[in-house]
Structure 1
Amino acid sequence: MKWKSLMASVVLGTSLVSGGSLAHAEKSAENVSVETPQFVKDNIKSSKVVSKKAVKKFFKDNKSKLKINANKNLKFVKSETDDLGMTHYTYQPVVDNIPIANSRVVVHTNKKGKVISINGEFHQDAPRNLKQTKKVKKQEALDIAWDSLDVSREETNTVQKSLSGETFNTLNENNELVVYDNDGDYQLAYHVELQFADPYPANWQMYIDAETGEVIQANNVAEEATGTGVGVLGDTKSLNTYLSGGTYYLYDTTKPMSGVIETFDNQHYGYSNLPGIYVTDSGNTFYSENQKAAVDAHYYAGEVFDFYYDNFGRVSYDDQGSSIRSTVHYGSNYNNAAWTGNQMIYGDGDGSTFTYLSGANDIVGHELTHAVTESTAGLVYESQSGALNESFSDVFGYFVDPEDWLMGEDVYTPGVSGDGLRSLSNPNAYNQPDHMDEYQDLPVTEEGDWGGVHTNSGIPNKAAYYTISNLGIEKSKDIYYRALTVYLTPNSDFSYARQSLEQAAQDLYGSSAANAVGQAWDNVGVY
């Protein structure tokens, strides 16, 4: 399965990484190419655009350049105006009014209504009509998806109870008819999502051929890594807790416009005990050894929430105010932490490779940024787009903890100072390339780290280092957030990321900042 993780399995041999003890059966299409996104901002004709109707005219006026028939190939999704006064019109590419999976097109206008750029997956070679016949029914596709897994629906359909007494089901199923781009062969398929916590953390993204019933692709993209109380490193923290029946819970209801931040103890059981039991204390002083991991998980989840809210006004990872649930003491000597699609899990480490993994705020920032990426750019987790997925998590992990350029140094190899999992300033020190001359063209398999997502992330990481060193943290984090949430699209490669970051810098801080971003990417050989 694909895990959006802190490390690659070739480093640890566990699933803090891709693979390991949480790995289960996976089918994946071989040699599937994806639509390369385009970023167009030169030589485009534009009268004043202030409405959906005006955007339609813009597409018509630029049909020869863009080669898009907006009437037939694009479906309007939404328009949003940001704090700069720019309006962004988002469209879904379609064939026969059926959405093309993992695709979007966005038109960006300035406050005067002038179109400054258009970007996304244009699918200019997509057919005008589909020749394929839909023979498989929607429910049949869902049954095929379940039959392809090594667990049954009944095994995953477990019920948990929240602190308020409400019950929630850990199983979530979604099923949508889409057009799937299989190496330029556009075919009808069902996009099936199966998310559950028991008997293992899963967020299965599956595509079922609507004519033959074949499983075209199946990836588990559950994302891994990694009130007063004492944390993992012995520091005392102030905690937001909840009092009920004379007992204090690690249950934070103070976040604005949001759900809660709640923390559980798995008691080393593993899959079958998620989310576990609430972490409680009779005196509101979480000082015991067993509570240290929970103190940090709870505190840092709140810190990452605050980082995104205070800097960008983002309400939780999905900007919809979803609750953030964390579970500590997961498994036995578990060298891993994971975002499973609906919660965080943290192992205690084996005491040698890691100590309690919740003890590093940059790991928590890294993993929750995977969740932000999932709900914004949707970067596909393989090859260059996957390396960008990892890199943006590293970069925002740095923004959360900017004391040094290392990742995970607080919990990695306890007792050994000065080392970490990766370095933004010196990727070569951790066997990562820092220039395209060193790019590793790896196979898109588990053994190949899904095309080198953890390996080649060193290149955009080094570009981020150059950007931050030149522009400073404040400007850089604004630029990176805007690129992630406004310009990047699912299949972005390194060159496209450069353009997105340059455009974000231009929007926010003008040409000098855009030039600085461009120079940073020049330095790593991405032109």
Structure 2
Amino acid sequence: MNKKLVTTLVMSSLVASAFAINAGAAVTDKSTLKDENGKVHNVMGALGKVSGATAEARAMAALDLVGKDFGFAKAQGNFKVKDSHADENGVAHTKLDQVINGIKVFDHQMIVHEANGDVQGVTGDFAALTPNATKASLTSVAAIDKAVASTGFKGQLDRPATAELTYVAQGNKAVLAYNVNVAYNDTAEPANWSIMVNAVDGSIISSLNQIDFDQAGTASAKGVLGDTKTVNTYYYTSYGNWYLEDHTKSGLTSTGHDIETYDWKNGTSTYYDIASTSNTFSNPAAIDAHFYAGKVYDYYNSLGRNSWDGKGASIYSTVHYSKNYNNAYWDGSKMVYGDGDGVTFISLSGGFDVDAHEMTHAVTQTTSNLTYSNQSGALNESWSDAQASVMDSKDWSIGEDVYTPGTAGDALRYMDNPAKGGQPDNMSKYVNTSSDNGGVHTNSGIPNFAFYKFATAIGSRTIAGKVWYVASRDYMTSSTNFSGARAATLNAVAALYGSSSSYYSALQSAWSAVGVN
């Protein structure tokens, strides 16, 4: 790459017992699963045989087998294939978006699970909706202007805003809208907005900040906690400098990418290269961010995933964001770490579980893409905590290494005892609130506790983490709720280890213990 100053751009209840997919044995019974409100989210079992030259074609045919269960007459005209993935057992998981007039319906997806024409299950969310319009009256440029204006932000955007035409479900209506993405870091509260702008009258339908405000050659150098780490660096002859770049991951270099770390220098609009003529670095926050980014890459690579997007994308980390900033977040394209104020936090990149948590949000963004609000948002948070607890396995706490340096033994969250961190540990204690995007950091305690119970029951965080990853990759959609997550993880553990395995029964018990059925 050309080294330069980098500047941001302007611009369930269970109706029947869960019969999960098991590649090793045919499923013989049809099972329809509903959430606590009676809405179908899974139809599983031996649903029939379909034909077609591709997984995509077979998926469309498969949807016709479950139309009555989900409430549609036929798949043709109601769905459009998004992508298809074959898992380790050869089962194809094909994701389809619900469409109206050929336009995607936001947050309404289906996943067909099929092997060699045998339909083994369908996961998803369909709604019969009446559209308010067939074409937009507003241009995408005008929609972007209205979305940016609605944020009140007047500085530099981190990247050019984008607008995608979509339908938004409102009751039994489908409102034509632009889903506008607006991202910026140059402010006290950074944002990665998803703003729905009515494509007919230009009104703002909804605004959702998707940043998770939850926590908040080689060179040897000290990290935030004073420990010495060895990090991979790269020398550019034309510049005469070493940089914090890791070119050792073959999965990244094969796609022309790498791991890179930058410095905001306590600003919020521009981040800079971290360079050294002698390959020595005295930037503890950057050393930790760079080192742990490689560790997170290695973990997901061990699961068969090449970087956060599964396609070998570069991993960018940025440190020293703003002054005394008590947070860290994934902004949709890179990691951003604050230094903390020394009281609530020290430099947040110094916590391996913090880095792992935030970077898992990137993985979720490109797998299930769980919407960051209410139950799906709590699952988004919980999945990051769960994978962080696998990577940083010394305890069941989150953020303890960088949180309140003056208080020993405390943490942001406790997966083994959510109540200790002010979180519910059972559905009977679920917190209904309009704050924090519907309590995403509060109610995540429930699935967190389920993960803890499962991992400890089977004696392996590694296996539990793999199950959670496969569930997100193959069996969860953007609107999956707690009941759907139970079904998704059971499907995943069955696909990996069989529905008659001790892992399967342990997982059933874990979810039941937290009141999710």
Is this a same-fold pair by TM over 0.5? yes
| Per-residue Cα deviation, 1:165-222 (whole angstroms, up to 9, x for no partner) | xxxxx42232221111123321111111223444574322111111111111122323
State the partner residue of 1:126: 129
Partners of 1:322 and 1:61 in 2: CA distance: 37
CA offset at residue 417 of structure 1?
2.8
1:502–1:515 contact (8 Å) kept in structure 2: no
Compute the displacement of 1:103 (Å). Answer: 2.4
The equivalent position to 1:247 in structure 2, one of 225, 241, 264, is 241
Matches within 5 A, 1:226-265: 226=216, 227-244=219-236, 245-258=239-252, 259-265=257-263
- Write 1 or 2 for the structure with the bigger share of strand: 2
Question: Distance between the aligned counterparts of 1:53 and 1:366, measured in 2?
Answer: 37
Name 1:492's counterpart in structure 2.
Answer: 480
Deviations 1:460-518 (CA, angstroms, capped at 9, x unpaired) = 00000011012212221111000111111111111110000000001001122222211
The one-letter amino acid paired with 1:423 is Y
Map of 2:47 onto structure 1: 44
Distance 1:186 1:329, change over 3 A: same
Task: Summarize the Cα distance change of 1:223–1:320 in structure 2 as closer, same or farther, 3 Å threshold.
Answer: farther
Indicate conservation of the 8 Å contact 1:503/1:514, yes or no. no
In 2, Cα distance between equivalents of 1:57 and 1:376: 24
Contact 2:137-2:200 at 8 Å conserved across structures: yes
- Among candidates 452, 458, 480, match of residue 465 of structure 1: 452
The answer to whether the aligner puts 1:408 opposite 2:413 as a matched pair is no
* Alignment-derived partner of residue 280 in structure 2: 285
TM-aligned CA deviation for residue 62 of structure 1: 3.9
**Cα drift, residue 306 of structure 1:** 1.2
Q: How does 1:45-124 map to 2 (within 5 A)?
A: 45-47=48-50, 51=54, 52-68=56-72, 69-110=74-115, 112-123=116-127
> In the alignment, which residue of structure 2 is the partner of 1:18?
none
Deviation at 1:327, TM superposition (A): 2.0
Conservation of the 8 A alpha-carbon contact between 1:352 and 1:414 = yes
- CA 490–59 in structure 1, closer or farther in 2 if over 3 Å, else same: closer
Matches of 2:39 and 2:160, distance apart in 1: 31
Is the alpha carbon distance of 1:80 and 1:345 closer, same or farther for their aligned partners in structure 2, counting shifts above 3 Å? closer
Q: After TM superposition, give the deviation of residue 37 of structure 1 in Å.
A: 6.5
Matched, 1:205 2:194: yes
Q: Identify the match of residue 514 of structure 1 among 497, 500, 504.
A: 504
User: In structure 2, do the counterparts of structure 1 residues 390 and 53 end up closer, same or farther at CA, with 3 Å as the change threshold?
Assistant: closer
Q: What is the rounded CA distance, in whole Å, between the counterparts of 2:105 and 2:452 in structure 1?
A: 35
Asked whether the equivalents of residues 50 and 113 of structure 1 are also in contact (C-alpha less than 8 Å), the reply is no
**Is the aligned partner of 1:218 residue 2:204?**
no
**Structure 1 residues 77, 430: closer, same or farther in 2, change over 3 A?**
closer
Which residue of structure 2 lines up, in the alignment, with residue 175 of structure 1? 163
Worse overlay, 327-336 or 352-361: 327-336
Q: Distance in 2 between matches of 1:37 and 1:365?
A: 33
Distance between the aligned counterparts of 1:320 and 1:406, measured in 2? 31
Structure 2 counterparts to residues 363-512 of structure 1, below 5 A? 363-443=354-434, 448-471=435-458, 472-511=460-499, 512=501
User: What amino acid is aligned across from residue 525 of structure 1 in structure 2?
Assistant: G
Distance in 2 (CA, whole Å) between partners of 1:279 and 1:35 is 54
Q: Counterpart of 1:307 in 2: which secondary structure?
A: helix
Larger mean CA deviation between 343-352 and 404-413 belongs to: 343-352
**SS of corresponding position for 2:235:** strand
Give the gaps of 5 or more residues in structure 2.
1-36
Structure 1 pair 49–403 and aligned structure 2 pair: CA distance change class (3 A): farther
How far is the alpha carbon of 1:36 from its aligned partner? Answer: 5.9
Counterpart-to-counterpart distance in 2, 1:414 and 1:82: 43
Match for residue 296 of structure 2? 304
Contact 1:440 1:452 in 2 (8 A): yes
Distance 1:146-1:413 versus aligned 2 partners, 3 A rule:
closer
Mapped pair 1:149 → 2:141: no
Specify the code of the residue in structure 2 equivalent to 1:281.
S
8 A contact 1:293–1:358 mirrored in 2: yes
Instruction: Give the secondary structure class of the aligned counterpart of 1:89.
Output: strand
Letter in 2 for 1:521: W
Letter in structure 2 aligned against 1:218: S
Q: What is the one-letter code of the residue matched to 1:256?
A: S
Q: Distance in 1 between matches of 2:436 and 2:192?
A: 19
Query: In the aligned structure 2, how far is the partner of 1:57 from the partner of 1:331?
Result: 53
Task: Report if aligned partners of 1:37, 1:491 keep a CA contact under 8 Å in 2.
Answer: no
Residue identity opposite 2:433 in structure 1: L
Q: What whole-Å deviation, never above 9, does each CA across 1:272-305 have from its counterpart, x for those lacking one?
A: 2x32x2223333233x4xx111111111111111
- Secondary structure at the counterpart of residue 161 of structure 2: strand
C-alpha distance 55-451 of structure 1, shift in aligned 2 (>3 A): closer
The AA in structure 2 aligned to 1:261 is I
Q: Secondary structure at the match of 1:101?
A: strand
User: How far does residue 519 in structure 1 lie from its aligned partner after superposition?
Assistant: 0.7
So what's the TM-score if we normalise by structure 2? 0.85
Contact 1:337/1:344 (<8 A) preserved: yes
In structure 1, runs of 5+ residues without a counterpart are 1-33, 158-169
Is 1:332 matched up with 2:319? Answer: no
Please give the per-residue CA displacement for 1:307-330, whole angstroms capped at 9, x wherever unaligned. 111x22212211222222222222
Identity of aligned residues (%): 38
Matched residue count: 466
Q: Which residue of 2 aligns with 1:167?
A: none
CA contact (8 A) 2:133 2:200 kept: no
Counterpart in 1 of 2:31?
none
Q: Scaled by the length of structure 1, what TM-score is found?
A: 0.83
- 1:299/1:92 Cα in 2 relative to 1: closer, same or farther (>3 Å)? same
Q: Paired residue for 1:266? A: 264
Task: State how far apart, in whole Å, the 1-side matches of 2:187 and 2:405 are.
Answer: 31
Contact residue 40 and residue 117 of structure 1 kept, 8 A: yes
Instruction: Name the SS of the counterpart of 1:470 in structure 2.
Output: helix
SS of residue in 1 equivalent to 2:205? strand
SS of structure 2 residue aligned to 1:293: helix
Letter of the structure 1 residue corresponding to residue 263 of structure 2: D
SS at match of 1:239: strand
Distance 1:353 1:196 in 2: 24
Secondary structure of 1:156's match? coil
